[in-house]
Homo-oligomer: A and B are copies of this chain.
Amino acid sequence: MALETRIEAAIAEAIAMGQGGDCAGGCVAPPRLASALHYAVTPGGARIRPTILLSVAMACGDDRPVLSNAAAAALELIHCASLVHDDLPSFDDADTRRGKPTVHLAYNEPLAVLAGDSLIVLAFDVLAKAAEQDPRRGLALIRSLACRTGMPMGICAGQGWESEAEVNLSAYHQAKTGALFIAATQMGAIAAGQEPEPWTELGARIGEAFQVADDLRDALYDADTLGKPAGQDEAHARPSAVTEFGVQGAIRHLRDILSGAIASIPSCPGEAMLAEMVRRTAERMTPVAPSTSSKVAG
């Protein structure tokens, strides 16, 4: 599929840049950290955020594919960096991710911290390099990604809420899961020369849906199916749509949110195609109760 190929090529190009591929001689990168960068972004999983980003860009005409590709890669690098840091012993202390050992187990803890840091920096460098094509759009992409990554309202802020005694639940959810989906729709629009604001709601609703779907998977699946530890919401006493609405209620809630997402799509040449993309995303998200359904009853 063309979209997948574009995304994987853009990510591979970004990682090669971080490993020193751009250096005109004389630049030697530390080999294990260079290897950890590649390890942290593969295998790809669904690449759902860059898929949404490119879908929005294409729906808006995608007249600067170099910018859209860079934006897709940068967004996925930030997502992967957040996974590496979230898996650290002081956070989720996860042993597996996408079916293989987490970065701090496959390498070591300092290299996991550094791989995350390097992927964050690389994301902004990839955007700044592509911005030569169109400085105005490039700078808007950098600002949008920074806004949804750091403080006060990006995914760092989202994680930060988990160290608070009193949590602002709306700010927590919007920042923790919503932020990078908002970045996806906004950056897709910006890369194609559109204003980001009309695209905020679509991203926010997809993010909300994704959070509910993730809560469902965490409650319904086992670790082998997830490729990461299961039952983490219960284990860490985190708020979850399953705790709030029950399994069937959460599935209904998920479908309602996605209908709202489709209704929020701004008028654009690729409106129908985008609605179809959201429907496909919804199908991929909605968990099918696994055959070993003991956890559903529990």
Report the separation of the CA atoms of residues A136 and B135 in the bound assembly, to the nearest whole angstrom. Answer: 7
A160 in contact with B30 (CB, 8 Å): yes
Q: A34 interface residue, CB < 8 Å from B?
A: yes
Judged by a CB distance under 8 angstroms, whether A171 is at the interface is: yes
Residue of B nearest to A15 (CB): B151
Is A19 in contact with chain B by the CB < 8 A criterion?
yes
Q: Which of B135, B147, B162 contacts A125 (CB 8 A)?
A: B147
Once the chains are docked, how many angstroms separate the CA of A145 from the CA of B77? 18
Complex contact B108–A163 (CB within 8 A): yes
Pick the residue among B108, B132, B153 that contacts A29 (CB under 8 A): B153
Which residues from B are CB-within-8-Å of A60?
none
* Residue A39 interfacial (CB < 8 Å): no
Contact between chains at B91 and A110 (CB < 8 Å)? yes
- The interface bits of chain A over 44-65 (1 if a CB of B lies within 8 angstroms of the residue's CB, else 0) are 0000000000000000000000
CA distance A66 to B108 in the complex (A): 41
**How big is the A interface, by class?**
35 or more
Interface residue? A150 (CB, 8 A): yes
A232 to chain B, nearest CB (A): 15
Beyond A111-B160, A116-B117, whether A18 also contacts B151 by CB under 8 A is yes
Contacting pair A164 B85 (CB below 8 A): no
A33: contacting residue among B19, B30, B160, CB under 8 A: B160
List the B side residues contacting A125 at CB < 8 Å.
Answer: 142-143, 146-147, 150
Q: List 25 A-B contacts (CB under 8 A).
A: A18-B150, A18-B151, A18-B152, A19-B151, A23-B152, A23-B153, A27-B153, A27-B171, A28-B168, A28-B171, A30-B168, A34-B151, A90-B108, A90-B109, A91-B113, A108-B163, A110-B162, A110-B163, A113-B113, A117-B117, A117-B156, A118-B151, A125-B142, A125-B143, A125-B150
